[in-house]
Chains A and B, each alone.
Chain A
Amino acid sequence: MSSSAVIANPAIESAAARKSFALMFCCTLIGALAQIMLKTGTAQVGAHITLGQVVHQPSLFFKFALGILTNPRTFFGYLLYGVNTVLVALALKGRELSRLYPIIALTYVWVTFLSIFVLPGEHLNVYRVLGIAAIVTGVSVLGLKK
């Protein structure tokens, strides 16, 4: 069987697509986990800085950047994001980006659930649930071909 015959085989093509979907699904879980690590890490890094303060005193930016580089949680969170980015790139090889948007949008659901269960001081209300639903739908339709 020649290589072009393999690519033309719809069974193998859909298997590759399924693999892509599965990989992207895992990526949304890893991405959500990274978010939680980053959030708990930044809470340890130090006092809250506003954008205005950074504009007046740019050194605050570098001080904060150094803080997140040396905090184990934020460092590991960034590392997880790096790994995730490579996996996303691999998933994109098997399927075009527009078809994967609905799966990518799941990240908003995972982050919300994980936040509620793991982080202190987070809460849900009707507005937030409807808001997340609207965002997930919005991101999902971005890739539609019309």
Chain B
Amino acid sequence: MKTPISSIILVLFSSFVGSFGAVGLKLGAERLGGGIAKLLTNYWLAVGVALYLISSVFYMMGISQGELTVLFPMISLGYIWALLWARLLFKEQFTVAKVGGLALIVFGVALINLGNA
């Protein structure tokens, strides 16, 4: 079985949408505390969870065809978006570890897709 490009695109798109879910959860987590009522009206948490659910539907569309050995590791590309949003929105610094880790992840995903050809 060969993994179709359309599946790869869907999983990439899913990781992109999911990274905004992480942003929502982070914004929500910054507003945590103050009991159940405050938790239930924490709309950033709701936005984060909703984005994660939406991204999961695209992921499921993606894995419905093709190999999981190719598609699942592509989720790790979500770290790229997440670190980018962390830098842009939350002013978190890039470190040698983060940039090195990302480079290894991109290299790994590229290798896996070479193995798909």
Contacts and interface: CB of A to CB of B under 8 A. Distances in A.
A134 B108 contact: yes
Contacts of B58: 51
Interface string A80-109: 000000000000000000000000000010
Contacts of A143: 97
Contact of B68 (A46, A48, A111): A111
A127 B114 contact: yes
Is the contact region of chain A dominated by helix, strand, or loop, or is it mixed? helix
B61 A115 contact: no
Interface of A: 35-36, 38-39, 42-43, 45-46, 48-52, 54, 61, 64-65, 68, 74, 78, 108, 111-112, 115-116, 119-128, 130-146
Interface of B: 1, 4, 6-7, 9-10, 13, 56-58, 60-61, 63-65, 67-70, 72-73, 76, 79, 95-98, 100-105, 107-112, 114-115
